[in-house]
Amino acid sequence: MPAVPFAKALLVAALALPAVRASSDSPMVPSYEVHLQLDPTAVLNSSYSLIADVLDEFAMPASVTEKNVQYIDTVDKALDAQGWSCRIRNIQTKAKFDLTYKWRLAINDSDIDAALNTALNDGWNSDQSKYEAQVDWYLSSQELSVQRDHKASEDGYSGLDDPSEQDSQSLLIDNAPKMFDNWAYSGWGTTELGSGVVYGPVLTKASAGTWNGVELDIEVWPIENAAGTGIDYLVEASFKTSNYTFASVGRTQLQDLLTSKGWFLDESNSKEAMVLANYHPTA
């Protein structure tokens, strides 16, 4: 590659700066995650592992990372009704529980800027460096999410066990960030968590590979079916980027590749929404 003249390199660097500086009156700057579903009958073998052709296509090792995922909400889903979700994961490769507080907003008519501005009115601005904004781009919908993670000790637990209902409540209450806790009124989040129940757990398996120069992940989620009579396997491929064009073009290219292989599933589901819809915990 020819050397870029110094002045031009400076110009390129200047153009690459984000258009807005972090401030309490500018919207958050999101990254993008594209999610597409794969047909479980085409890509899983009889032990529900990805078949070799899929592993080969994306240069994935046969080894997977197990993540035991559960969501905490009230029986009538009071957190979800306000756009919030609380997730706890026990990840095989991590020594601590992973806690996530996430707020979501539907993006209408692909108008991402409108969603960012609605979020700004709700208090989400580019000054909030502890939160990450992301556009989740599904086959037939987009959603803005703003999330913050915490780590919590796994003391008293072993293997891939997730915390009990009571411990889940207290871990999430102890770490609750203010934006969450004071969302509907002061102390709202922790009040609702006090009667939180467990949706899940779902023992998921993640494979990491490469596609188009970026990391491509495929996750297999065995989720109870709506009737509660068996398990449906949700298989999702996803990649992340901070580049809107790459997300948009890549999404079409990935869909085309999956279709040509006979692996594409023409459905558009959020894993979390399916867990919340299909599990029916009682108080």
Ligand X SMILES: *[C@@H]1O[C@H](CO)[C@@H](O)[C@H](O)[C@H]1NC(C)=O
Rounded distance between C-alpha atoms, residue 202 and residue 194, angstroms: 22
Q: Does 45 bind ligand X (CB under 6 A)?
A: yes
Structure token pair of residue 145: 């999410």
Give 65-129 as a 3 state SS string: EEEEEEEEECCCCHHHHCCEEEEEEEECCCCCEEEEEEEEEEECCCCHHHHHHHHHHCCCCCCCC
According to the binding rule CB under 6 A, does residue 268 interact with ligand X?
no
Select 39 or 154, whichever has its Cβ closest to ligand X: 39
How far is Cα 142 from Cα 139, in angstroms, rounded to an integer? 8
Nearer to ligand X, 113 or 155 (CB): 113
CB atoms < 10 A from the CB of 127, how many?
Answer: 13
3-state helix, strand, coil in the chain (%, to 5): 30, 35, 40
Apex CA 143: angle with CA 138 and CA 149, to 5°? 105
Among 164, 249, 267, 280, which residue interacts with ligand X (rule: CB under 6 A)? 249
Q: Which residue has the tokens 């491929």?
A: 237
Q: How many residues make contact with ligand X (CB under 6 A)?
A: 16
Contact letters for ligand X, residues 201-240 (x by CB under 6 A): ----------------------------------------
| Stretch of 22-30, 40-48, 84-92, 126-134 lying at the interface with ligand X (CB under 6 A) | 40-48
- Closest separation in Å from C-beta 74 to ligand X: 20
**Number of neighbouring beta carbons within 10 Å of residue 8:** 10
Closer CB to ligand X, 106 or 273, in the complex: 106
- Taking the complex as a whole, the smallest distance from the CB of residue 174 to ligand X amounts, in Å, to 31
Residue 46 binds ligand X (CB under 6 A) = yes
Does 1 contact ligand X by CB under 6 A? no
Residues 210/58, Cβ–Cβ less than 8 Å: yes
**Could you say which residues in the range 177-206 bind ligand X, by CB under 6 A?**
none
Residue 115 sits at the vertex; the CA angle it makes with 132 and 223, to the nearest 5 degrees, is 65
In 3D, which of 71, 31, 33, 94 has the Cα closest to residue 217?
Answer: 33
State yes or no: residue 252 binds ligand X (CB under 6 A).
Answer: no
Min CB(136)–ligand X separation in Å:
14
Least distance from ligand X to the Cβ atom of residue 4, Å: 14
Among 243, 252, 253, 268, binds ligand X (CB under 6 A): 243
Rounded CA gap, 269 and 6, in Å?
Answer: 47
Q: For residue 201, what are its two tokens?
A: 């757990």
The two tokens of residue 81 are 């009704």
Nearer to ligand X, 4 or 226 (CB): 4
Interaction pattern, residues 59-88, with ligand X; x per rule: CB under 6 A: ---x--------------------------
Using CB under 6 A as the binding rule, whether residue 106 contacts ligand X is answered as yes
Nearer of residues 44 and 276 to ligand X, judged by Cβ = 44
Q: Which residues bind ligand X (CB under 6 A)?
A: 45-47, 49, 52, 62, 105-106, 108, 114-115, 118, 243, 245-246, 249
